[in-house]
Chain A
Amino acid sequence: MKVSAFHLMPHRELPPDFERRYPSVWVTPPWWELADARRVGQYYNWTLDELLYAARAGFDGVCTNEHHQNAYGFMPSPNLMGSVLAKQTNGLDVAIVQMGMTLPTTSPPIRVAEEYGMLDCISGGRLVAGLPLGSPMDVNLAYGITPMEHRERYREAFELVLKAWQAKEIFAWNGKYFQLGQVNLWPRPVQEPHPPIWVPGSGSISTFDFATEHNVCYCFLSYAGARAATTMMDGYWDVVEKKGLERNPYRAGFLQLVAVSETDAQAEADYAKHVEYFYHKCLHVPPQWFAPPGNQDYRSLLAANRNPVRRAEDPKTLRYKYFVEKGYVIAGSPATVKERLTEEVIKRLHVGNLMVLVQIGSMPHELTLKNIDLFAREVLPGLREIWDDKGWENHWWPKSLRGSRQPAGATR
């Protein structure tokens, strides 16, 4: 089992009436009313410190991701964060999991191959290369990419990056979206033939096919917990089996919100308001923006219209107890968290690469360190060996880090 600490780098101090006063946390939140650059500088530094703390505390990897014009996550360049993390974790057996630099918004996309090459060199071959499609809010709304071209542009960029990493000869790329006369990447990554690739998805069948055809780790980055993801992940494993691939749990990644305290009651006292902040404010986005016309292909669109997802409950009306009960957040004592993660998430979804959102919404720095510390000391050791008896190889993890990590033990 590999367990990584994931960070969104949210605004931690949105006003109490944010979701009533503003139409969206994404694309349109007004910077000048809501943010202060010096304070935001503090958020970035907290984020880095929290991830470095997690690295030292014994997590197997640290994850950053890319969003644009988004008050719940504003690392428009995850690689700026990743390069600090790579440098500062040299000497630790920690993977730098970039979840990652968004392909369709990076032009030309060899920039992704170059920067990931740099990160793999700086970290000595510890990079996990996330190659995300990117959300419609980031790609279509903020970065102006035509919805109908989003996926096709992604697929071309993906092939180009893979080729740029591995080609022994200089080559010309005459694509539909990108034309480059002489591709000759400097630097190339340390890991051969290339760093392990993770592709985040949101459950569309076309991404299952893409992930299995390219033999990458499919990652479901969910904010709604394992129960809501069960049908979807079962669908993924069906595709894996139909293609004759092994049911290796390391073929799947999953993001879970986790909040650990001394007891279940103390967890509620510590985390309830931060969890509610996350679901009430950070997920405040007009639903139609998730699927602008043309973003889904015709068949997926028709399938979605034939089987409309039963209108999920409005999270703004729900409270901490509900989010915990339904498993959106796994929160409580170390024993509770370990039990639920093991049964509801890892074993039920058959996941080998777990990502844990350790900082949730408005959770302040000190409390985040507490969450990381308790998780690393009292939960993580009990998860590590879950898949060991089955003899699976984690082909989707840097080769030099595949053994079990010996925590260095962090001190606060």
Chain B
Amino acid sequence: MTEQARTLTVWNGRVPLRVHVAGAGPAVVFFHGPWGLTWGPFLDALAQQFTVYAPEHPGTTPGDPDAIQHVDHLWDLVLCYDELLEQLRLREVMLAGHSFGAMVACEVAALQPARVKRLALIDPIGLWRDDAPVVNWMLLGPAEMPAHVFHQPDGPAAQAMFAVPAEAEAGALARTRLTWAMGATGKFIWPIPDKGLKKRIHRITAPTLLLWGEHDRLVPRAYAREFADRLKDTRLEVVPGAGHAPHLEQPEATARAVQAFLKA
């Protein structure tokens, strides 16, 4: 299955958002994490049963790094996505997200709770505990990063995200894109990813799936409890053999869990 990309412009003409779309069936919007959008087996599997919309966060779209300069605050970002859902005419939708994208999914759901029917959060950030701090991945060196994001730092998922192409220009672009994606998403969470979701999360009404990589070294599993305590209807599933990005490292198992939950 090949996804189609289309660009919709929000924020009074200032922010073009590229959205990858594939599949058929009920609508699921997937918000990617801090390292940019990877369309791979996980989203392919979801698109077997749903119409998947995967927007790229402002600034992370190749060729348009400066879109992020028009989005100053988390509030701006949430309203950009609100406008996007309106333009896509998604009045009833399911939301999924990974890491930073899961935080965005929560914020969008908290803005208009009635619009969101189900919510799937993969290793979400957005809350804070002093006794279990979320690791700031933006301060990790390139040698430390793969082992913090993935259970298998040399596995294919880590290679796909972090391997730098040998050809010089492609390598420079890949490194730049990865760093800039962290910067553009990091704009909304620096230096601590607690930006008030705790005050808004009670508004969410959708049943929520919490998926955690068994070996997440960035966001301790203590946060599953924090989300569960604040949401009305949650279910926790742990994905074995995965770190902070189970949808990339264990795409089949993660897709099965998400599909089963969204279809229920």
Contacts and interface: CB of A to CB of B under 8 A. Distances in A.
Interface of A: 140-141, 144-149, 176, 286-289, 292-295, 298, 301-302, 305-306
B222 interface: no
B183 A147 contact: yes
Interface in B146-182: 168-169, 171-173, 175-176, 179-182
Contacts of A147: 138, 183, 186-187, 190
**Prevailing SS type, chain A contact patch:** helix
Contacts, number: 69
Contacts of B169: 306
A146 B172 CA distance: 24
Given A147-B138, A147-B187, A305-B171, 7 more contacts: A146-B190, A147-B186, A286-B139, A288-B139, A292-B186, A293-B179, A301-B179
Given A144-B190, A286-B141, A302 B176 contact: yes
B28 to A, nearest CB: 28
A140 B179 CA distance: 16
A144 B191 contact: yes
Given A288-B141, A292-B139, A148 B173 contact: no
Given A286-B141, A289-B139, A292-B139, A305 B183 contact: no
Given A301-B176, A302-B172, A306-B172, A293 B182 contact: yes
Contacts of B72: 176
B13 interface: no
A294 B58 CA distance: 13
Given A301-B180, A302-B173, A149 B139 contact: no
Interface in B112-143: 138-142
A10 B168 CA distance: 41
B76 interface: no
B66 to A, nearest CB: 7
A148 B142 contact: no
B29 interface: no
B40 interface: no
10 contacts: A141-B191, A148-B186, A148-B187, A292-B139, A292-B183, A293-B138, A294-B138, A305-B171, A305-B175, A306-B172
Given A301-B179, A306-B169, A146 B140 contact: no
B187 A298 contact: no
A279 to B, nearest CB: 20
Contacts of A286: 139, 141
Contacts of B180: 293-294, 298, 301
B241 to A, nearest CB: 28
B182 A294 contact: yes
Contact of B183 (A145, A148, A287): A148
A275 B187 CA distance: 39
A148 B68 contact: yes
A302 B177 CA distance: 9
Residue from A144, A293, A305 whose CB has the most chain B CB atoms within 10 Å = A293
B184 interface: yes
Contacts of B139: 141, 286, 288-289, 292
A294 B186 contact: yes
B196 interface: no
Contacts of B140: 288
A146 B176 contact: no
Nearest to A288: B141
B190 A298 contact: no
Given A286-B141, A289-B139, A293-B180, A305 B172 contact: yes
A367 to B, nearest CB: 36
A111 to B, nearest CB: 22
Contact of A294 (B66, B168, B171, B187): B187
Contacts of A294: 138, 180, 182-184, 186-187, 190
B164 to A, nearest CB: 9
B25 interface: no
Contacts of A146: 186-187, 190-191
A146 B183 CA distance: 9
Nearest to B137: A293
A149 B73 CA distance: 11
